[in-house]
Amino acid sequence: MINTREWAFAKWNGAAASDDETDYIFNVSNRQKTSGVLFSTRDGREFNRYLSCALIAAEYGIDRVITEVDKNMKELQEDKPMPPVLQLEAPKELK
């Protein structure tokens, strides 16, 4: 059985996540109990990225999200490993 709760984003006070980013607990001002979600590791990390973007957009506006994403994409491109350069040595002379 799935238990669902709905609350306004404006009522959100904060969150906590487990170290492996699979559990998220949310504190909401109009609820006595915390709400939470559980993910697989891969999905939890993806959720964390979307949650971060939502928080930045709520606090600073969508333009800030776009700026941050562009900055991250540039950094990833700069850190991209270069293909190795193959250096061939001249063959040794036979005696």
Confidence bin at 18 (pLDDT 50/70/90): very high
Using one digit for the tens of pLDDT, what is the confidence trace for 28-69?
887 778 888 999 988 999 999 899 898 899 899 999 999 999
Residue 90 lies in a domain: no
Question: Within 10 Å of residue 19's Cβ, how many Cβ atoms?
Answer: 6
Question: What CA–CA distance (Å, rounded) separates 33 from 70?
Answer: 38
For residue 1, the model assigns a pLDDT of: 62
Residue 47 forms part of a structural domain: yes
Residue 57 lies in a domain: yes
* Total count of domains within the chain: 1
Give me the mean pLDDT over the 55-84 stretch.
92
Mean of pLDDT values over 68-92: 89
Helix extents (H) in 1-95: 41-60, 62-78
Flag whether 58 is in a domain. yes
pLDDT value, residue 81: 86
Residue 49's domain comprises 10-77
Whether this model's pTM surpasses 0.75: no
